[in-house]
Amino acid sequence: MVSTFVFFDDFSTDKVIVALIAIGGLVYGGVLWWKSQLSPEQQKQGKRYVTASLILLAIDVLAWRFADVIIKLVTGSGGL
């Protein structure tokens, strides 16, 4: 049986905290970017917040998936 990748199959505190930080960064960066009509510096800062939040979320998902694959390979507890 082939297992599928499901991010929300088990909730842990670190995933929830990282997701909340990323969502907060996306919201803050989006608002900053949106409100910076005349200030190019604020626009750049807003873009940086959005980019950093997306990178944080991607790193968290990839790290979790990498650890899951390694644990399954080491323990032999099923397919990838």
pTM of the prediction? Answer: 0.68
Residue 69, C-beta contacts closer than 8 angstroms, at least 6 positions apart: 80
Split into its structural domains, the chain has a count of: 1
Please check whether residue 49 lies inside any domain of the structure: yes
Q: Are 49 and 29 in contact (CB under 8 A)?
A: yes
Range of the domain at 42: 14-66
Q: Do residues 56 and 21 lie in contact, with contact meaning Cβ atoms separated by under 8 Å?
A: yes
- Rg for the chain, CA atoms, rounded: 17
Domain contains 7: no
pLDDT number for residue 27: 93
Alpha helix segments (H runs only) across 7-39: 13-35
pLDDT in tens, 8-60: 555 577 778 888 888 999 999 989 888 888 788 988 999 999 999 999 889 98
State pLDDT tens for residues 10-21.
557 777 888 888
Q: Distance between CA atoms of 21 and 16, rounded to whole angstroms?
A: 9
Q: Within a domain: residue 57?
A: yes
